[in-house]
Amino acid sequence: MNKLIITLVLCILVLSSQVWAENTLTQTAFINEAISRNPSYQISAQEYLIALESDKSVRSLEDWNLVVAGIWDEATPAPISTLSANYQRTMGYSVGLEKYIANSGTAIQIEHSNTRIDSQYPPPITIPGIGTLDFNPPAKYYLSSISVTIVQPLLKNAFGLATKNALKMSDYSLKLAKIKLSEDWEDFISLLRGEYLIWQKCNKNVEYVKKQVETAEDQLTLTQKQQKYGLSEDLDVVQVQQKLEAYKILLAQAKLACDTQTQKVSLLMGHAEVSIEAIKPEAFTPNEAGMDEITAGAYLVSLSNVKKTADILVELQDINLETKENAQLMDVSLVLSAQPNAYSEKFSETYSTLGEYRNNSFTITASRPLANDEADAEAAKAKAEYKKAQAEKEEILLSAKIGLSALYNNLNRLTEMVQLNENNLKLAQQRLTLEKKKFNQGRSSVFFVLQAEDDLLKAENNLNETVFAREEIINQIKTLTDQYLVEYKDVLKL
């Protein structure tokens, strides 16, 4: 019979522990669920994908372009002379490819065209004694060609400097977008951890205030007993009753705050509705900063997202300065063109006779505004912006170092305060034990026992507040030193 009872008790304990485990939402499960379902995370991901497509759009300038055209024209020209056609019809096509090479700034165009011309002319001229003179061209003939044209800038935008720099700036913009994505994700994780800490803290606070209520109830019972023996006055009972009611109000407020935070946690995970009692946070476990102050400081100024962002901002202004200074130069371009032509009276001969006639050219063009004030002003402005970016980089890193130093200073102080509060709590517990012992021996008043109990509760609350304040500092340190990107690398995905 005893074995049966023991078995039933064990089954109940196992089942109750399973239910409790199901109701407990761990911090890891909370963050993973929020990452997969919260729109803030998805917004950051989509912003990066937009930047990625923008970069592809910029790079499309090096794509081959196909150019196709067709022509049909019919005309009855005015009879300007006896050799002019009185009717003409032109039909043709052209197809070509265009390519821009960013690394050299070279523009290449390849084009093939073929045109058929049908004409009608006045009758040939007949001169008496000489005969008929026919100066008219054939009524139908074909003109075809293949042309290759190369344009190469030599000074301004020499070898595609402006285009290459535009591509570099697009690269850096994409890198900035990637850094922003990681910072957005890290801030989101930091937010989630902060909200989870608040949730754990409010649950601890409810437990603490419950203990206050229970202690006040015990104090009221004790004071009422003392009153029966004339050891306490009516005022003492009323004071304890007032304290009990005040603690009950605090308990109601604590439960309300905790219910609100539970709903917030649920909504962050994408759940519209949840029973307040359905989920509870896991038991609080203190964390560490993950890096000592020296390691964190070295990381901050060498590998952190803060450092990378500051470097890119300077690089962008450096590229802009190079482009603006180059724009001050004269615009000189070399144009090379080769065009083999063909003339035939049959379409089948348009390709076989290609090259019998040629049209080649070599051209150099040069232009420059006489005053060039706009380019000079833009270059001066770019130089000032570059110097400003360098100063801003130093300011960003300095502010980050000051912030990190302050965080570690707060962490060290709070760690000391945790130890002090733990010592104070032990002393408060010892004091209450001794006060109760002294009271039971009739050597002390109940007032000192009540005061010791209140001081013990205050000591517990002070320790609780200090521990969670320390956790908030650790959360900020891990965010600033990019530790969450490593901790959650398997979850943070587009």
Residue corresponding to tokens 């380019």: 375
Any idea where the domains of the chain sit in the sequence?
24-55+167-316+381-487, 76-101+106-156+333-367
Q: Rounded distance, CA 448 to CA 273, Å?
A: 48
- DSSP state string for 76-103: -----STTS-SEEEEEEEEEEEEEEETT
Which pLDDT score, from 0 to 100, does residue 126 have? Answer: 67
The pTM (predicted TM-score) of the whole model is 0.75
Q: Rounded distance, CA 327 to CA 310, Å?
A: 26
Cα dihedral 460, 461, 462, 463 in deg (nearest 10): 50
pLDDT in tens, 156-206: 888 888 888 888 888 998 898 889 988 998 999 999 999 999 999 999 999
pLDDT over 70 percentage in the chain: 90
H helix or E strand, kind and range, residue 112: strand 106-120
Which pLDDT score, from 0 to 100, does residue 226 have? Answer: 81
pLDDT in tens, 41-79: 888 888 888 888 888 887 788 889 999 999 999 888 776
Q: Are the CB atoms for 324 and 375 separated by under 8 Å?
A: yes
Considering the domain 24-55+167-316+381-487 in this protein, what is its CATH number?
A: 1.20.1600.10
pLDDT in tens, 362-407: 999 888 888 788 889 999 999 999 999 999 999 999 999 999 999 9
